[in-house]
Amino acid sequence: MSGLTVCEKILARAAGLGSVMPGDVVEATPDVALSHENTFLIHRAFREMGGVRIANPSSVVIVFDHRAPANTVNSANTQKAVRAITSDLGITQFFDVGAGICHQLLIEQGIAKAGMLVTGSDSHTTTCGAVGAIGIGLGASDMAAIWAKGSIWLKVPESVKVEISGKTPEGVYSKDISLETVSHIGAMGADYCCLEFHGDYISDSTVSERMTLCNMAAETGAKSVVVPQTLLPDPLANYSRTIKIDSSKIGPLVSTPHSVEKVAPVSEFEGTKVDQAFIGSCTNGRLDDLELASAILAGRKVHPGTRLIISPASAEIYAMALDKGIIGTLVSAGAVITSPGCGPCLGAHQGVLADGEVCISASNRNFRGRMGSREASIYLASPATVAASAIEGKIADPRRYIR
Amino acid sequence: MICGKVWKFADDIDTDAIIPGRYLDDYSPLSLAKHVMEGVDPTFASKVSKGDIIVAGRHFGIGSSREQAATALLVAGVEVILAESFARIFYRNAVNKGMLPLICKGGAEAFETGEQIVIDIEKGVAHSAEESGKSVALDKMSPYISKIYSSGGLVKLVISELGKT
């Protein structure tokens, strides 16, 4: 006897099959086809394929978030061209500059739902696993094929069960759990797999916390990541392995330069001078993240030698944070608030790092050169650790500031 | 048979190393090629020639979904990459662009930068052009991947698929 995992159920349904096995190659019809500024490249390949009309235009979602508003003339010309493309091809789900980050909007706007197959031309498409969808990142040519044919070939991945259980200690957040998960599995330890999250930490977590986890889990090489809900795995579903993580034994963590899997307790790096601190991105730019930062920064100041940059993940989050006085608190503390979008995470604008600088960031990647100079160093941590570090001007344990 | 000069790279060559994010506002393939591998070796773009082969360790192309990483290598002249393993999206992108990403256990230990190597896809081996040189086995490509590669990339495959219907 056997059964299907969530990923197998979703891929079987999207391929019009009764059942699938890991290793099967299926032609699947995605419910969502997400892209950002790279729509320009997708359209180019789509035209080369002879595409005239999009096979399934209601599945297409386009968001300007990577360089929004445009940072260079090239970016501006790209965005101008993509605006014309959306209008010519009848794409109605188009979010222009300032709306927010694509992965945030898919969930916030109710586009991604449990049981859906979401494809995106961005590696962090895994984020929508937080609401029970299977999100798979692809390149521009694959997305062009989806535009042209309405379907794409996908290999059914093995599913790995990840059980996270235990009450988290104070000062420990979903980012810390995520870093522990990446470190435990390794930077490519889940290559070609789908991670399925279980355990009482997961069942007690909020959508925002699950988004952080499903987002960061892309750094294990996972093809997709899912928190089962509505559509559940069969009791006898097959997992290639089970990984158990005790979330009660985790303290505040940092991922150290230049690899996400190099994770250590924050205590080992306390005192490292910080030039820039960043809170934002599809990993940690949500209301709970900004609220946590403002609770820590209230009545305090960012250290004179340090810049704190905060990018709300969407316009809706920005408006709610304004309403609640969070933005005011952050600005009074000396933070720079950018427009909603990816911000400095990908090193294009809004806080590019100089040679030799150190950044502590609540984003998801610390590859050499990711946020600017290849001579810069990036540490990844929770928004609480980033806020505490911004106050001290050096990497700091957030537990001193939790009230 | 494919012959070419080796450029060897380490494990974990990520997409930001292959083509840094700050250059991605320019969609001209030639502009991208000028910065290829800049994150690991800023002089690489000026040294690489058409037909050269990259030999790398584990996890080549780890990170972002940017297809420009494959495009930049291809336009710079690299059509074949031998690595211990590839990141999933980079592997798809490379095949889709008509490149040949070959999984090859032990390739990074067997070959050195500057060496001429010969790749025989049918026999599934890569060996040094020197008679006394080393030889390593290549993993077999899956049938679907072979189909995309032999079509000349995904664009051409989709053209033929759509033409049939």
Flag whether pLDDT at B47 surpasses 90. yes
- Which of B94, B155, B147 has its CA nearest to residue A50? B155
Give every strand in the sheet of A134-137, ordered side by side: A93-95, A60-63, A32-35, A117-120, A134-137
Q: Do domains A157-251 and A257-401 have the same CATH topology?
A: no
The correct answer on CATH 3.30.499.10 for the domain covering A257-401 is yes
Q: Which residues of A114-128 are buried (b: 16+ CB within 10 A; e: fewer)?
A: bbbbbbbbbbbbbbb
Average pLDDT over residues A195-213: 98
The C-alpha atoms of residue A72 and residue A70 are separated, in whole angstroms, by 6
pLDDT at A126: 98
CB nearest to A122's CB, from B65, B85, B96: B65
The fraction of chain B above a pLDDT of 70, given in percent, is 99
> Inter-chain contact A367–B14, Cβ cutoff 8 Å?
yes
Q: How far apart are the CA of B47 and the nearest CA of chain A, in angstroms? A: 20
Q: What are phi and psi of A150, to 5 degrees?
A: 85, -5
The C-alpha atoms of residue A292 and residue A89 are separated, in whole angstroms, by 42
pLDDT tens readout for residues B4-36: 999 999 999 999 999 999 999 999 999 999 999
C-alpha separations of A385 from A164, A169, A296, A355, B64 in Å: 22, 14, 10, 23, 25
The C-alpha atoms of residue A381 and residue A171 are separated, in whole angstroms, by 12
pLDDT at A402: 87
Give contacts of A374 with chain B, Cβ < 8 Å.
20, 38-39
Flag whether pLDDT at A239 surpasses 60. yes
Domain covering A157-251, topology: Aconitase; Domain 2 (3.40.1060)
The fraction of chain A above a pLDDT of 90, given in percent, is 99
pLDDT at A109: 98
Give contacts of A192 with chain B, Cβ < 8 Å.
88
**Domains of chain B: which residue ranges?**
2-139
Residue B133's pLDDT band (cuts 50, 70, 90)? confident
Flag whether pLDDT at B165 surpasses 80. no
Going by the DSSP 8-state scheme, the letter that residue A362 receives in this structure is: S
pLDDT tens readout for residues A94-139: 999 999 999 999 999 999 999 999 999 999 999 999 999 999 999 9
Does this model's pTM top 0.80? My answer is yes
Average pLDDT over residues A177-190: 96
The C-alpha atoms of residue B98 and residue A277 are separated, in whole angstroms, by 41
- Which of A235, A239, A254, A250 has its CA nearest to residue A382? A254
Flag whether pLDDT at B132 surpasses 90. no
Flag whether pLDDT at A1 surpasses 80. no
The C-alpha atoms of residue B67 and residue B91 are separated, in whole angstroms, by 10
pLDDT at A403: 66
Give contacts of A72 with chain B, Cβ < 8 Å.
25
DSSP annotation string for A247-305: GGG---EEE-TT-TT-EEEGGGGTT-B-SEEEE-HHHH-SHHHHHHHHHHHTT----TT
- Which of A261, A68, A130 has its CA nearest to residue B11? A261
pLDDT tens readout for residues A29-88: 999 999 999 999 999 999 999 999 999 999 999 999 999 999 999 999 999 999 999 999
Q: How far apart are the CA of B49 and the nearest CA of chain A, in angstroms? A: 25
Flag whether pLDDT at A92 surpasses 60. yes
pLDDT tens readout for residues A6-20: 999 999 999 999 999
Give contacts of B153 with chain A, Cβ < 8 Å.
141
Q: What are phi and psi of B18, to 5 degrees?
A: -70, -45
H or E element that contains B83: strand B80-83
pLDDT at A83: 98
Q: How far apart are the CA of B38 and the nearest CA of chain A, in angstroms? A: 9
The fraction of chain A above a pLDDT of 70, given in percent, is 100
Q: How far apart are the CA of A165 and the nearest CA of chain B, in angstroms? A: 28
> Inter-chain contact B155–A137, Cβ cutoff 8 Å?
no
**Second CATH level (architecture) for the domain A7-155:** 2-Layer Sandwich (3.30)
Domain covering B2-139, topology: Aconitase; domain 4 (3.20.19)
CB B117 within 8 A of CB B6: yes
